[in-house]
Chains A and B, each alone.
Chain A
């Protein structure tokens, strides 16, 4: 055993329902290093983190911290040992304030009473490090995922004396915040902390990590210094095969079809949410939506799908004016939408994968017309296969699937309704690089089949790859529309920086 390691684990086993998801995994982390934990969706990364941080019990194996054998039985015990964690599904309390979330269980006290003033001040300073100006007294429910993510990270960083685990911390952050986070991580590394980061963005791995450990199907494939591991070899380690990476980074080449616009939004807006915009979408095109966080991307989607009500403008489908005042209205006109927040807005945790896949279709058919079991089975089987959802068990409650596989099931849910217009808010979030390419291919294929798509994404390369048009948002305004050859990563980034009211 390498006792010079800060944290090490050996022979970790874990089974769920008799299926082994971790099989004799060894792991070792040194002080003062940033260690990337990589692998496909369902490889067992999150499970390993949960075991090392006391959230799950292991079936076998042992772990050491500073050469001492330790056995954290709960997240609190792990924290007491100096291990801080941000889990993949961020666990914060929506109805508490930002400051309370940051200091829950360890509020600063004065004469036995909680010192609110100091807590607020500390919270503001803490968040400023990440360039987030959240109001410490506002309830958390007010803030979008990205801000919550940062709050969770700030809390964990503050808690971790020795080791910090971050499970896909950058999934919902944009470039600016990722850089702010990385700056903080580098400082922590210099202070001698050991940091484990899980991500599906290989660029980030090469930017920040010193070493990588790769898991595949619950087994450890290997652990290497990043400097001596070319990208191709790393991908091969993760997938167990080579990936033809050719599809990405190239424009789709598809141009706007000259069919009439089937979906039309004119002067559509909502005060305080998104300034009035015009948007027309044709069957057979992919409209990409780019913009920094808080630029109004998700708000645009919510308005189009009837989750929020517009206070100006009108919408038309096939030339007929329509009211979109609820998701039901929108679904009735053939819309579908995969939301950004998978856990709160997407999955219905206790229902099975099959029930989750048929849910949207069932809702549109109404309660009196149940989908026959045989049809539900066929749908589930089809999409589990088409999207390679793992494990391919339609009866498994969806909450037991890994994050990336849940994302695929939500996508399947909407594909099953065969929508005319599909709005995807961050469809590749948390998806591994193999599946990432498949989802991009899927978007292309849906477009070729004549579906209209609106895709919101923080990954600019990806937008360039599949969009026929890109709308760029800034400060809650639609500032720029790029077409055909204009669609390049540089042009998008440039437009994103334009202040919104200049448009």
Chain B
């Protein structure tokens, strides 16, 4: 998959963020085992990042086609509401999973049809479901916070296998699955081609519409998974708040991962690291005990710093500087 060298900026940023947090709150790196399950702030980052990480996987592909999916937070709310309703009605876990995932897929296909076949601008097309979706979710839950008590379903959110919490396993598995799907097939290349130059790609026979539809479908699927994890975790569905603003974190994760909003080359791994950076910041700031007003500002400052270092204009300046230094060195 992606070569390590290409991930260097993201890995570096993650390391710096982790070290800084470690300095502020020394307990951050301690990991303990209790009842055969791993505990600790670091593990907590891995668990808490699950929704954004999952969204970022689908978002990466969508953005690579030059699109954007604003509806993922709302889709989380819809699938969460449906899952909670089904669980509360006593349906078995496989049924709940199948129905919710299928629903996410349908939401994604809806977006994909609007974008790829009706040529509606992605930001508008997905805004429709972003707005309508939360309403739909509220209709499903009847406007209340729907709760349930079903240990089997809650296992998705709070269970662990071999000591590793389920949410971590789910986003890792999904990242791996989608990553392998796009890189072992020609999907990745074709998606990139469409994102870089859709006209030229269509002229060589690339099925651009189908590919674009597929990316939104995958994004819907990822949102459904994220919705279920959140629902399972809180043992209920909150149509107003589930997944609220998470689409923005997902987009940010993708951008920190270095995939350009102008479409083209993408890396799912880098987006996942981007999601980890964001979550590490969230957790770290929370642990530092600073007043919560600082949280958002500190987060914004760190993100601006990361994006500045990645910007091509800065890279250009740096390389000019390096060239000048080299020449000076050569002269003296």
Contact = CB atoms under 8 A, between A and B. Distances in A.
B250 to A, nearest CB: 23
A348 interface: yes
Complex A-B, nearest 10 residue pairs according to Cβ-Cβ distance, in ascending order: A370-B186, A360-B204, A363-B205, A331-B205, A363-B206, A367-B186, A348-B197, A328-B205, A350-B264, A367-B187
A346 interface: yes
Given A328-B207, A363-B201, A370-B186, 7 more contacts: A57-B320, A347-B200, A359-B201, A364-B205, A367-B211, A368-B185, A369-B186
Contact of A327 (B202, B211, B265): B202
A348 B201 contact: yes
Given A60-B327, A367-B185, A362 B190 contact: yes
Nearest to B326: A59
B193 interface: yes
Contacts of A346: 200, 203
A307 interface: yes
Nearest to A328: B205
A434 interface: no
Interface in B185-242: 185-187, 189-190, 192-193, 196-197, 199-207, 211
A499 B327 CA distance: 64
B237 to A, nearest CB: 36
- Interface SS of B by simple majority: helix
B5 interface: no
B60 to A, nearest CB: 16
A370 B207 contact: no
Contact of A413 (B190, B192, B204, B211): B204
A328 B202 CA distance: 8
A300 interface: no
A363 B196 contact: no
Interface stretch (A26-34, A108-116, A311-319, A337-345): A337-345
Interface in B161-205: 184-187, 189-190, 192-193, 196-197, 199-205
B264 A371 contact: no
Given A327-B202, A350-B265, A359 B207 contact: no
A359 B202 contact: no
Interface in A298-329: 307, 327-328
B196 A349 contact: yes
B190 A327 contact: no
A363 B190 contact: yes
A351 B196 contact: yes
Contact of B199 (A328, A344, A366): A344
B193 A359 contact: yes
B185 A370 contact: yes
A370 B265 contact: no
A355 interface: yes
27 contacts: A307-B203, A327-B202, A328-B205, A328-B207, A337-B203, A339-B200, A344-B200, A345-B199, A345-B200, A347-B200, A349-B197, A350-B264, A351-B192, A355-B193, A359-B189, A359-B201, A359-B206, A360-B204, A362-B186, A362-B189, A363-B190, A363-B204, A363-B207, A364-B205, A365-B186, A366-B186, A370-B184
B323 interface: yes
A367 B190 contact: yes
A365 B205 CA distance: 10
A362 B192 CA distance: 13
B186 A371 contact: yes
Contacts of A345: 199-200, 203
A364 B206 CA distance: 8
B196 A348 contact: yes
Interface of A: 57, 59-60, 307, 327-328, 331, 337, 339, 344-351, 355, 359-360, 362-371, 413
Nearest to A307: B203
Most buried by B among A344, A346, A355, A359: A359
Contact of A355 (B187, B189, B207): B189
Contacts of A331: 204-205
Nearest to B182: A367
Nearest to B214: A367
Nearest to A329: B205
A331 B189 CA distance: 19
Contacts of B203: 307, 327, 337, 339, 345-346
A360 B205 contact: yes
Interface string B85-125: 00000000000000000000000000000000000000000
B209 to A, nearest CB: 10
B106 to A, nearest CB: 22
Contacts of B202: 327
Contacts of B207: 328, 363
A60 B187 CA distance: 44
A346 B193 CA distance: 11
Interface string B62-105: 00000000000000000000000000000000000000000000
Contacts of A371: 186
Nearest to A413: B204
A370 B203 CA distance: 19
Contact of B323 (A59, A307, A351, A355): A59
Contacts of B323: 59
A365 B203 CA distance: 15
A501 B264 CA distance: 46
B186 to A, nearest CB: 4
B200 A351 contact: no
Nearest to B265: A350
Contacts of A339: 200, 203
A362 B186 CA distance: 7
Contacts of B196: 348-351
A371 B190 CA distance: 12
Interface string B306-332: 000000000000001001000100000
From A348, A360, A365, residue with most partner B Cβ within 10 Å: A348
Nearest to A414: B204
Nearest to B198: A348
A110 to B, nearest CB: 34
Nearest to A360: B204
Nearest to A342: B200
A307 B200 CA distance: 11
Contacts of A328: 205, 207
Contact of B197 (A344, A360, A364, A413): A344
A347 B197 contact: yes
A17 B202 CA distance: 31
Nearest to A330: B205
A360 B202 CA distance: 10
A226 B156 CA distance: 80
A316 B298 CA distance: 67
Contacts of B265: 350
